[in-house]
């Protein structure tokens, strides 16, 4: 039987963009989607235990676009997601759970 390393349980939920930690840090703070209630569009993603990953955004006229992919965990704190967005980003980020927030720093690859 294969064994995989897994991220912390608390990461498995729907996260919504909250704010930038600071302009210089490049760190984006996400919070559980449910915390926002009614809001203007926010980038959200769902990380599932079964390695599915769903990224949801809105386009330049507020229309939703959704991308499906799969994630892979690299210890201690990297998540590598195998979907390609229109901007040719491979989603790859370092994360840190801080209370009820998820801090992520994207690693851009082309």
Task: Give the Cα separation of 50 and 86 in Å (integer).
Answer: 25
Q: Does 24 sit near other proteins (CB under 8 A)?
A: no
CB of 38 to other proteins, least distance (A): 6
User: Whole-number minimum distance, CB 24 to other proteins, in Å?
Assistant: 11
**Residue 101, C-beta contacts closer than 8 angstroms, at least 6 positions apart:** 18, 29, 30, 31
Q: Does 88 bind other proteins (CB under 8 A)?
A: no
Q: How far apart are CA 30 and CA 95, in angstroms?
A: 10
**Which tokens hold the place of 81?**
């997601």
Q: What is the Cα–Cα distance from 16 to 4, expressed in whole angstroms?
A: 26
Among 19, 70, 82, 109, binds other proteins (CB under 8 A): 19
Is 86 one of the binding residues for other proteins (CB under 8 A)?
A: yes
Among 10, 25, 52, 59, binds other proteins (CB under 8 A): 59
The reply to whether 25 sits near other proteins by the rule CB under 8 A is no
**59 with 49: CB under 8 angstroms?**
no
Q: Give me the residues that bind other proteins (CB under 8 A), please.
A: 17, 19-20, 23, 28, 38-42, 56, 58-65, 86
């Amino acid at each position: 039987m294969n064994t995989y390393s897994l991220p912390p349980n608390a990461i498995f939920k729907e996260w919504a963009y909250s704010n930038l930690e600071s302009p210089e840090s490049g760190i984006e703070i996400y919070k559980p989607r449910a915390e926002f209630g009614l809001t203007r569009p926010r980038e959200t993603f769902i990380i599932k235990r079964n390695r599915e990953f769903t990224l949801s955004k809105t386009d330049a006229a507020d229309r939703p676009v959704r991308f499906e992919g799969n994630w892979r965990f690299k210890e201690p704190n990297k998540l590598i997601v195998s979907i390609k967005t229109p901007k040719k980003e491979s989603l790859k980020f370092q994360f840190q759970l801080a209370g009820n927030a998820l801090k992520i720093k994207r690693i851009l690859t082309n």
